[in-house]
Structure 1
């Protein structure tokens, strides 16, 4: 099994997720929540459907995820200015502070992974290889 690409990728994903879960345990933050908060922080005002699509999250699951972020006071839905039927997503002031802390924890997590890979050059090579899988024009 150790020579099967898909098997190695899956095992690597599990390793990365386990480190992520341990890193963010005190913040009670899951990978999907991290991704949503990071996108909202980077580009506030996007519609729910846009962010759900970017992350490959089903609409019903995304609504539940956002409900949880709102209950925690980290993000909020606002009626979109151009379409009153849709909602744009924004961080709350508490959410902005949370994202700052989240980013610091993420940097430490990322640095551990890069070190384990062998440094910045290995990281760049891995990202290049993974990009080749994801950017396949035949798919």
Structure 2
């Protein structure tokens, strides 16, 4: 005897309990990915007015902290393929934030520098990021929890 399937609405009405997630919620990789998505979504919201993505912010910070370094060095530190990094830098260059100049050491390579506009832009972006970072640290439970989290994450890399 064939059992009749309840309608979608009836099935939804019969469900009073929450979706069971125990099997995934204790998986380290799953929890890391969920946390990463949450932090990135917050970043995108906070940085929307600056039209800045997380990777672009990181590139600007690395260039500011390492002026004159080659594109390939910055890309390597980030784990970004050259084919993806070149258009990323080009976009920052088009916005007037970054300039590429021939390297003093290797004329075939480009050294990266922030423009004056890029320095001013990054100073503002760093403050926006610091405010966001402090909000995240507060959600973690303070600086001690942040330090513990960083130490734990370092064990995975």
Provide the TM-score with structure 1 as the length reference. 0.95
Q: Give the alignment's Cα RMSD to 1 decimal.
A: 0.5
Q: Of 109, 113, 116, which residue of structure 2 is paired with 1:90?
A: 113
Give the 5 Å matches for 1:33-72: 33-72=56-95
Q: Of 74, 91, 96, which residue of structure 1 is paired with 2:97?
A: 74
* Structure of higher CA gyration radius: 2
Ranges in structure 2 where 5+ consecutive residues have no aligned partner:
1-23
Question: d(CA) in 2 for partners of 1:132 and 1:26?
Answer: 35
Give the 5 Å matches for 1:1-139: 1-134=24-157
Aligned length: 134
Provide the TM-score with structure 2 as the length reference. 0.84
Question: d(CA) in 1 for partners of 2:129 and 2:69?
Answer: 23
What SS does structure 2 have at the residue aligned with 1:26? helix
Residue by residue over 1:19-78, the C-alpha shift from the partner in whole angstroms, topping out at 9 and shown as x without a partner, is 100110000000110010000011101000000000011101100001100100000000
What SS does structure 2 have at the residue aligned with 1:107? helix
Structure 1 ranges of 4+ moved more than 4 A: none
Question: Which protein, 1 or 2, shows the higher relative CO under an 8 Å CA cutoff with sep ≥ 6?
Answer: 1
